[in-house]
Copies of this chain bind each other. A is one copy, B any other.
């Protein structure tokens, strides 16, 4: 079984090592082995978990929510339904957030159009 150092994990997900240590301390990355010098060794499974954590983080799930999710994974099969519901609820929340952002872009586009027009008008007005 291949293992990875913290710098490899950090590089793979484009995050600082300090963030990974912080996540471990918060309980998002349980059971990370160490080599005899005390350095973290990430298994393939833990890299995958970190990938999942990044998906959740990228979609603005709070640390506390991610922690709950990881705790349910550790608890085993009996939490499958809860995990499924959590992911489904989260998916919905993310789609809502994207919709809000998309709507807000319309307001921004309106500003862009107005500024572009005003700048054009000012150019044409020059020298008249």
Contacts and interface: CB of A to CB of B under 8 A. Distances in A.
A105 interface: yes
Contact of A115 (B83, B94, B118): B83
A78 to B, nearest CB: 10
Contacts of A118: 77, 80
A55 B108 contact: yes
Interface of A: 51-52, 54-56, 58-59, 77, 80-81, 83-84, 87-88, 90-91, 94-95, 97-98, 100-105, 107-109, 111-112, 115-116, 118-119, 122
29 contacts: A51-B107, A52-B107, A52-B111, A54-B104, A55-B108, A56-B104, A58-B100, A58-B101, A58-B103, A59-B105, A77-B118, A77-B122, A80-B115, A80-B118, A80-B119, A80-B122, A83-B111, A84-B112, A87-B108, A87-B112, A88-B112, A91-B105, A91-B109, A91-B112, A94-B105, A95-B105, A97-B101, A98-B98, A98-B102
